Structure 1
Amino acid sequence: MKIRNDVIKVYKDVHIWVGILSGLMLFIAFYAGAITMFEKPLERWATPPSSLAAPPPLAGAEVLLQAVLAEHPQAAKNYLIVVEPTVDAPARVIWREPGKSRRQFTEFGASFADDGSLQVEQLRKAPVAQLVDTLHQLVGLPFPDALARPIMGAVALLYAVALVSGLIIFLPTLAKDLLAMRIGHNIKRLWMDVHNALGVVSLPFHVVMALTCVVFAFHDEFYDVQGAVVYEQGVPWQRETPPGPPTPDARPLPAVELLRLAHVQQPGFEVFNFSFKQAGGQLEASITGLDTRYGTRARTYASTHLNPYTGEIDPHDLPGQMEPWDAAVNTFFMLHFGSFGGNPVRWLYLLLGLAGALLFYTGNLLWIESRRRKQRADGVPEQTRSARVLGSLTVGVSLGCVVGISATLAATKWLPQRVDNLAAWHEGIYYAVFVAAVAWAFVRGAPRAAVELLRLAALATLLIPLSSLAGVWGIGGAWHHPGMGFIVDLTALAAVPVFLAIAAYTRRRMCAGHTDSVWAQPASSQPLPPSGRGPASACQE
């Protein structure tokens, strides 16, 4: 395919600058997003064991609920009846009490002790999985949602522009260069081949991510348009008044009966819990679960309204039964979260997410190398300050994100016994490590910092399975769920040699590679040898 050189140059400039502006935030979004593909196993791995007695059978949920309401009447405002208790939802009856802000709440669970007395415990579901998801959603920005989300939307738009411009640049040599890996002395050419191959092969995935991110960032505006164009008279299920009790003394159906009716109405739908809340003096209910035959709007569940007195399910929010417009919206969420196809799709999305992070990392460094080649031709004697700053920023932000996430995950097994505000501590650990890594990259320079931070990433990641092992042995108050969470530990363990291998390669490149590269050990006082490659002695720890 023939495209004029001047057109290629324009799109190349657009691709470079758009990539630089958005690349670092997109690295955080993709790396954290890859981890969230297994958010639920991570959450269960990170949640400390409950001291509650074993939950009563589902048939006894109403007796337990009445005991809870007798001692904690505020629970009637918002409570759950859990069908199959899990590590992160260990009680048959769970209720929420509001916290300091609208989005904060405290969860409590209840059971019957051996002597028949009511046993209540504040639940401490691990917030670390939510932190990783928040980093993904807000591209790592420590700002309130109202400020960070529009920035994320702008980054997603830049991301889409970078995809289009990059494809146009690559089109003239697509047939020749697709999947070409030219291994040799020209390391920059090899990394360019890797960058191009990652971008083209995973292009459909990146297009989906870019479009869905824009939808998520500006969903309120889209919903306003949808309400004005599609539902001019208001959303049908919002116009209807929730049904009240058929008689003044009517009581909600028992959970066992609600479950039976749910199986009759929605065969194939696995019910997780029934939730109830008081709204406007009336009891409203919803049902949450999963039908693996359909992709879901949420990552691991689907939820819809339920009449607590008749057990009738309103299916308009369930995948496979939505109206066409809502099904289209659901598709955006489903494609973004990979909430279809089960674990094979989740593993595929994890790999594509990590490949995307590598795409943005290599993009910035390739720009530095290309710019240096042009400056060298113009007689500029050494790397410019702007190139060194961008190199340090790229290494610090990217590897700071990696080390920060590993560090806060490693702390999961130790914090619950020592601190009260787990969410604040996990967030504090991540951002403290992240900021320190960025500062270290500027102090040490990109090449040395890359080696050191990659080794630190290996160490921090190794601490994840070691902390679980400490929990197995009961060391220092650490804990571990028997038979659970090994996928997290094994995945972390597998990542350790990868980080060490990359660190070793980077060090070899720093020691023996071209001395004028962004990866070279700074040695401006030494003249460039005729070969363009520095001796190993020029590389110092």
Structure 2
Amino acid sequence: MKIRSDILRVYQALHTWTGICAGILLFIGFFGGALTMFKQPLERWASAPSAPLAALAPQQMDRVVAQVLAQHPAARQEFTLHVQRNEANPAPVTWSAGEGGRELQLDAMRWQATLGADGALQAQELRPSLFGEMVDMLHRTGGIPGHLGDEYLGVYVMGVAGVLYFLALVSGVVLLLPTLVKDFFALRQGRNRKRFWLDAHNVIGIASLPFHIVISLTVIVFAFHDQFYDGLQQMVYGERKMWVRPAGAPGPGDVSQLMPASALLQRVQQEAPGFAVTELLYMDVEGKRPLVRAGVAHDAYAVRGAQSGYVLLDPYSGQVLNTSMLPTKSDTWSSIVAPFFSLHFGSYGGDWMRWVYFVFGLAGAFLFYSGNLLWVEKRRKNQLRGQDALPPQPRRTLLLAAATVGVCLGSVAGVAGALLAAKWLHAGAANLNATLMAAYYSVFLACVAWAFWRGAARAGAELLALCALLGLAIPLTSLLALGFPALGMWAHGSLGAVAVDLAALVLALLLAWGARLAHRRARSGPGDSVWSAAAASGAAARAAVAPAPPVAAGAPGVAPAPTGAAAAGDGQA
């Protein structure tokens, strides 16, 4: 395919600058997004073991709901009946003691309840681990603190990054079209390391292009969903309500008239045959619009939520109010919207698809990291044109390289450090969730400062080695917990927790390999490259030579000043 060179130059500039502007933030988003595929195993690894609570029969579910509402009025605002029990939901009923909302509440407390052997309610208050929620917050905000209205400021910034990201994708495809057939899946190794990185960047970008297009579009929708939904409310729905309670229905307000939970389960199973009911979320049962949102899961369908679809019911009459978020009975609009949610969350295909998304997420992070590396090397190539001597790199290139290394690797090290802090600092932390957040930002900011102080070449190898050591410390911590119980730590034997250790070990080995390559590059790479440690030494030497006063030619002990192209090269900014 032939494309005019002037058009290619325009798209190259668009691809370069949109990628540079958004790449560092998107690295954090993709790395965090990859980890959110396994939020529950991560939180299980980071959480101290608790005594399992026995499962309840359907009739016992009715009694536990009635007793929770009678003895704990705070639960009437919102509580969850967990029908499917797993390590992330060990208790039959849970509710929060505090305000809800989108903000991560580090001091939030949660109640959990079950029935004892004598049929009496047993409830306890605890502070749940929010490690998975913290990683999800980093994924959504890029780690940018602050609020704008009811939403994180970082969410809107990531929305803008999503727009730039989409432009970078389109322009990158246009750039690769002329050589797509010849260069696709080509990984050319040799003395030209830039060619290898470019080939790897192109292969990953094209092979995962549909995934990236979906992610970029859904990031924009999720960032500005309030604005989009407000517009749809006015233009599409008007004053029409999503659901209307049937006339003459009992309640609301008298929670003793709630339909038994077992009967609601039967209604949901009739409405969604073949689906597994995961939970019943009761909302505002004493308010004007009481609602039960039933979660239903099926690996063969693309669902609206992160893990399940939904059926909405009236908790008093049991009437099904809305099935638009149930895959088999959704309306036209929901059938269009639901796949975007499902494709973003990876909520289809079961655990093997989560592993696919995990790999795609890490590959996407590499895509942005390598894109910045390629831009830096492109600047070096442009500077070499017409030069007989190696020109020094401009300050803006040095700063971008240091920011790329510090922010990207700092986020990796910060997450690993926070995960380790969950066990090592568990005994001495009054609020472990606040400690985890402090651990992340302390490690992250320290890595950024280190990168700017040491320079990209030295810091790249050093921070990669740090990330490898922190990753290796994760399975070693579990081994220490098994071998030395007196340390006060724990090691879960569940498949999910063991998978966290194994995945951390594999990533640690890959990071150690990357640290070795970066160290070799810094030691023996081209002297004018940002990624070469010799470049910094050369810059210092030039700075020492530049202010020397002029001397007469032939003065003893003084070398003649450089002339011609060499002098011009030394004077480059």
TM-score w.r.t. the length of structure 2 is: 0.85
Change (3 A) 1:100 1:253: closer
More divergent stretch after superposition (195-204 vs 449-458): 195-204
For 1:301 and 1:243, locate their aligned partners in 2 and report how far apart those are by CA, in whole Å.
32
User: For residue 551 of structure 2, what is the aligned residue in structure 1?
Assistant: none
More divergent stretch after superposition (409-418 vs 367-376): 409-418
Query: Which one of the candidate residues 322, 342, 354 is aligned to 1:334?
Result: 342
User: For residue 537 of structure 2, what is the aligned residue in structure 1?
Assistant: 523
RMSD: 2.6
User: For residue 158 of structure 1, what is the aligned residue in structure 2?
Assistant: 164
User: For residue 362 of structure 1, what is the aligned residue in structure 2?
Assistant: 370
Deviation string 1:443-467 (CA, Å, 9 cap, x unpaired) is 1111111111111101111222223
User: For residue 411 of structure 2, what is the aligned residue in structure 1?
Assistant: 401
Residues 34 and 349 in structure 1, CA contact (< 8 A), matched pair in contact too: yes
For 1:73 and 1:349, locate their aligned partners in 2 and report how far apart those are by CA, in whole Å.
41
Q: Give the AA of the match of 1:260.
A: Q
For 1:441 and 1:339, locate their aligned partners in 2 and report how far apart those are by CA, in whole Å.
37
Q: Helix, strand or coil for the counterpart of 1:383?
A: coil
User: For residue 426 of structure 1, what is the aligned residue in structure 2?
Assistant: 436
Change (3 A) 1:153 1:5: same
Deviation of 1:302 after TM superposition, in Å, equals: 2.6
Q: Helix, strand or coil for the counterpart of 2:37?
A: helix
Change (3 A) 1:234 1:422: farther
User: For residue 494 of structure 1, what is the aligned residue in structure 2?
Assistant: 506
User: For residue 531 of structure 1, what is the aligned residue in structure 2?
Assistant: none
For 1:224 and 1:137, locate their aligned partners in 2 and report how far apart those are by CA, in whole Å.
21
For 2:221 and 2:3, locate their aligned partners in 1 and report how far apart those are by CA, in whole Å.
32
For 1:436 and 1:366, locate their aligned partners in 2 and report how far apart those are by CA, in whole Å.
25
2:36 maps to 1:36: yes
- Structure 1 gaps of 5+ residues are 528-541
Q: Helix, strand or coil for the counterpart of 1:317?
A: coil
Query: Which one of the candidate residues 307, 310, 313 is aligned to 2:314?
Result: 307
Residues 66 and 256 in structure 2, CA contact (< 8 A), matched pair in contact too: no
Deviation string 1:328-365 (CA, Å, 9 cap, x unpaired) is 11121111112112223222221111111111111111
Q: Helix, strand or coil for the counterpart of 1:60?
A: helix
Deviation of 1:119 after TM superposition, in Å, equals: 3.3
Q: Helix, strand or coil for the counterpart of 1:230?
A: helix
User: For residue 74 of structure 2, what is the aligned residue in structure 1?
Assistant: 74
User: For residue 534 of structure 1, what is the aligned residue in structure 2?
Assistant: none
Query: Which one of the candidate residues 139, 142, 158 is aligned to 1:139?
Result: 142
Deviation of 1:495 after TM superposition, in Å, equals: 1.1
2:121 maps to 1:110: no
More divergent stretch after superposition (259-268 vs 367-376): 259-268
For 1:129 and 1:375, locate their aligned partners in 2 and report how far apart those are by CA, in whole Å.
45
User: For residue 465 of structure 1, what is the aligned residue in structure 2?
Assistant: 475
More divergent stretch after superposition (48-57 vs 202-211): 48-57
Deviation of 1:392 after TM superposition, in Å, equals: 0.7
If you compute each CA radius of gyration, which structure gives the higher value, 1 or 2?
Answer: 2
User: For residue 539 of structure 1, what is the aligned residue in structure 2?
Assistant: none
User: For residue 61 of structure 1, what is the aligned residue in structure 2?
Assistant: 61
More divergent stretch after superposition (398-407 vs 300-309): 300-309
Kindly tell me the number of residue pairs found equivalent between the two proteins. Answer: 526
- Structure 2 gaps of 5+ residues are 543-573
Deviation of 1:90 after TM superposition, in Å, equals: 1.9
Change (3 A) 1:128 1:270: same
Deviation of 1:177 after TM superposition, in Å, equals: 1.7
Q: Give the AA of the match of 1:130.
A: E
User: For residue 351 of structure 1, what is the aligned residue in structure 2?
Assistant: 359
Query: Which one of the candidate residues 450, 457, 460 is aligned to 2:460?
Result: 450
Query: Which one of the candidate residues 423, 428, 453 is aligned to 1:413?
Result: 423
Query: Which one of the candidate residues 151, 154, 170 is aligned to 1:148?
Result: 154
Change (3 A) 1:509 1:291: same
Q: Give the AA of the match of 1:386.
A: R
Q: Give the AA of the match of 2:268.
A: A
Q: Helix, strand or coil for the counterpart of 1:278?
A: coil
Q: Helix, strand or coil for the counterpart of 1:121?
A: strand
2:276 maps to 1:292: no
User: For residue 561 of structure 2, what is the aligned residue in structure 1?
Assistant: none
Q: Give the AA of the match of 1:131.
A: M
For 1:267 and 1:420, locate their aligned partners in 2 and report how far apart those are by CA, in whole Å.
46
Change (3 A) 1:243 1:270: farther
Change (3 A) 1:53 1:317: closer
For 1:364 and 1:480, locate their aligned partners in 2 and report how far apart those are by CA, in whole Å.
39
Residues 12 and 171 in structure 2, CA contact (< 8 A), matched pair in contact too: yes
Change (3 A) 1:415 1:69: farther
Residues 242 and 284 in structure 1, CA contact (< 8 A), matched pair in contact too: no
User: For residue 48 of structure 1, what is the aligned residue in structure 2?
Assistant: 48
Residues 19 and 363 in structure 1, CA contact (< 8 A), matched pair in contact too: yes
For 2:247 and 2:2, locate their aligned partners in 1 and report how far apart those are by CA, in whole Å.
62
Q: Give the AA of the match of 2:346.
A: G
Query: Which one of the candidate residues 235, 243, 250 is aligned to 1:245?
Result: 250
Q: Give the AA of the match of 2:234.
A: A
1:84-123 equivalences under 5 Å are: 84-99=84-99, 104=105, 105-112=108-115, 118-123=121-126
Q: Helix, strand or coil for the counterpart of 2:185?
A: coil
Q: Helix, strand or coil for the counterpart of 1:320?
A: helix
For 1:356 and 1:377, locate their aligned partners in 2 and report how far apart those are by CA, in whole Å.
32
For 2:417 and 2:166, locate their aligned partners in 1 and report how far apart those are by CA, in whole Å.
32
For 1:384 and 1:33, locate their aligned partners in 2 and report how far apart those are by CA, in whole Å.
34
More divergent stretch after superposition (433-442 vs 65-74): 65-74
For 2:436 and 2:225, locate their aligned partners in 1 and report how far apart those are by CA, in whole Å.
28
User: For residue 229 of structure 1, what is the aligned residue in structure 2?
Assistant: 235
Q: Give the AA of the match of 1:186.
A: N
Deviation of 1:65 after TM superposition, in Å, equals: 3.9
Deviation of 1:512 after TM superposition, in Å, equals: 1.8
Change (3 A) 1:434 1:179: same
Q: Give the AA of the match of 2:310.
A: S
2:489 maps to 1:478: yes
Q: Give the AA of the match of 2:112.
A: G
For 2:492 and 2:238, locate their aligned partners in 1 and report how far apart those are by CA, in whole Å.
52
Q: Give the AA of the match of 2:531.
A: W
User: For residue 513 of structure 1, what is the aligned residue in structure 2?
Assistant: 525
User: For residue 125 of structure 1, what is the aligned residue in structure 2?
Assistant: 128
Residues 52 and 111 in structure 1, CA contact (< 8 A), matched pair in contact too: no
Deviation of 1:243 after TM superposition, in Å, equals: 7.3
User: For residue 26 of structure 1, what is the aligned residue in structure 2?
Assistant: 26
Deviation string 1:9-53 (CA, Å, 9 cap, x unpaired) is 122112111111111001111111111122233233333323475
Q: Give the AA of the match of 1:179.
A: F
Deviation string 1:59-105 (CA, Å, 9 cap, x unpaired) is 22333344444543333332222223333322222222224988555
For 1:253 and 1:432, locate their aligned partners in 2 and report how far apart those are by CA, in whole Å.
50
Residues 250 and 317 in structure 2, CA contact (< 8 A), matched pair in contact too: no
User: For residue 535 of structure 1, what is the aligned residue in structure 2?
Assistant: none
Query: Which one of the candidate residues 202, 206, 216 is aligned to 1:200?
Result: 206
1:5-20 equivalences under 5 Å are: 5-20=5-20
Residues 69 and 76 in structure 1, CA contact (< 8 A), matched pair in contact too: yes
For 2:217 and 2:526, locate their aligned partners in 1 and report how far apart those are by CA, in whole Å.
40
Change (3 A) 1:341 1:117: closer
* Percent of matched pairs sharing the same residue: 41
Residues 250 and 309 in structure 1, CA contact (< 8 A), matched pair in contact too: no
For 1:245 and 1:471, locate their aligned partners in 2 and report how far apart those are by CA, in whole Å.
54
Q: Helix, strand or coil for the counterpart of 2:487?
A: coil
For 2:466 and 2:505, locate their aligned partners in 1 and report how far apart those are by CA, in whole Å.
14
Residues 471 and 477 in structure 1, CA contact (< 8 A), matched pair in contact too: yes
2:325 maps to 1:320: no
Change (3 A) 1:374 1:101: closer
For 1:191 and 1:408, locate their aligned partners in 2 and report how far apart those are by CA, in whole Å.
31
For 1:189 and 1:451, locate their aligned partners in 2 and report how far apart those are by CA, in whole Å.
21
